[in-house]
Amino acid sequence: MVYANDNFIQLPETYLFSEIAKRVETFKASHPEANIIRMGIGDVTLPLSKTVIQAMHKAVDEMASGATFKGYGPDKGYSFLVDKIIEHDYKAIGVDLSTEEVFVSDGAKSDSGNIGDILSKDNIIAVTDPVYPVYIDTNVMGGRAGELGKDGKWSNIVYLSSTAENGFIPQLPTEKVSVVYLCFPNNPTGTTLTKVQLKEWVDYAIANKVLLLFDAAYEAFITEKDVPHSIYEIEGAKQVAIEFRSYSKTAGFTGTRCSYTIVPKECTGYLKNGKSVSINALWNRRQATKFNGTPYIIQRGAEATYTEEGKKEVKEMIQYYMENARIIRTSLEKLGYEVYGGVNAPYIWLKVPTGYTSWTFFDKLLTEKHIVTTPGVGFGPSGEGYIRLTAFGSKEQTIEAMIRLTK
Ligand code: PLP
């Protein structure tokens, strides 16, 4: 008899997006004429840039000739890309990394999920709440979450509330934890930490031998000076932090798949017998065993984002989305709503008016304004009372949505 992983059975249905789809479908069935604007999606809409496409076409042609064909590549990524990451993404901000510390991959989702492979089942995990659901669900699969309570919280996971009440600055855990997921700029709230605020986390992690899993998937959207692009801008962070980065939102690679994870050599874990172990060595082993590398063609595309032209194109894409974010934020503020985010991230987090819940306000916007948003409660208990709007749509639709809200 085959025994399945019981942990998977504990996972509830992926309720959020299926419920949104169901409500939209029901509304459409009774209002087929409605022109629905989707501001709930977390996917990009602009096509890949010219320079990226050219680089990928060239790489495809290389695959057609025996002289330039590429089979299995290095599982940690080709040096042409790793070297660019080190130079442009880190050296440029004063962070020195060696090639052994960079692991090119196929997504920040995969890596932030797979990282659990190298962590003991006995770790107590903390997440900021609301949270990118992957951090929770992968720990449920790994048997680290305990049981789901009626309050929407898993019994063995520590939830660090991040709401308007604390300025979206989660408090350091008061109980003992071993791993903390931090995502800044944050999905879903769109808020960030300053260098001073992030330093508190690094100091805490060093003092308590805690591992920080820092998701920087949205770093390219940062516009303010005192907001760190990398956790390694904070002194000592290499001892305690892993950083996830992605080309998905930065350069439109959501369907193309390329990302990387930084695991510094100093980053240390501990065995039950008290001995210390290199987290870098464990991740290296994990990737070498289970991952055969991101496709050559895709890595050539990612490399092209570091050329002068590529950089310019990527910057324009980000500015396009951030202009949408500005339009959403300022329009909602003018209408008297309490809004957060949208300055260093493509997400706007709106506090629903008194008397509404996340879902009832979602329904109001859908049925009265034909606008689809994401109810905040879907990201965790502290998301109740908020909805998320994204800036990834077209400028025309973004403006049209704001006009509808003003009417
Ligand atoms: N991390 C965060 C916080 C995200 O919001 C997302 C995508 O929405 C990802 C990671 C996934 O990134 P990737 O496309 O590289 O898997």
Could you tell me the sign of the dihedral formed by the alpha carbons of 313, 228, 88, 54, in that order? negative
pTM over 0.95, yes/no: yes
Q: Return the pLDDT at 407.
A: 84
Whole-number Å distance, alpha carbon 197 to ligand 1 midpoint, is: 23
Q: Return the pLDDT at 15.
A: 74
Whole-number Å distance, alpha carbon 109 to ligand 1 midpoint, is: 5
Residue pLDDT, tens place only, 210-259:
999 999 999 999 999 999 999 999 999 999 999 999 999 999 999 999 99
Residue pLDDT, tens place only, 273-297:
999 999 999 999 999 999 999 999 9
Q: Output the six-digit token pair for 168.
A: 């979206």
- Collect all residues with Cβ–Cβ distance below 8 Å to 121 and sequence separation of at least 6: 142, 143, 144
Q: Return the pLDDT at 283.
A: 98
Q: Return the pLDDT at 16.
A: 86
At 301 the three-state DSSP class reads helix
How would DSSP label each residue in 250-265?
HHS-TTT--EEEE--T
Q: Cβ < 6 Å from ligand 1: which residues?
A: 42, 107-109, 132, 183, 187, 215, 217, 246, 248, 254, 259
Whole-number Å distance, alpha carbon 108 to ligand 1 midpoint, is: 5
- Collect all residues with Cβ–Cβ distance below 8 Å to 42 and sequence separation of at least 6: 187, 390, 392
* Ranges of the chain with pLDDT below 70: none
How many residues are present in the chain?
A: 407
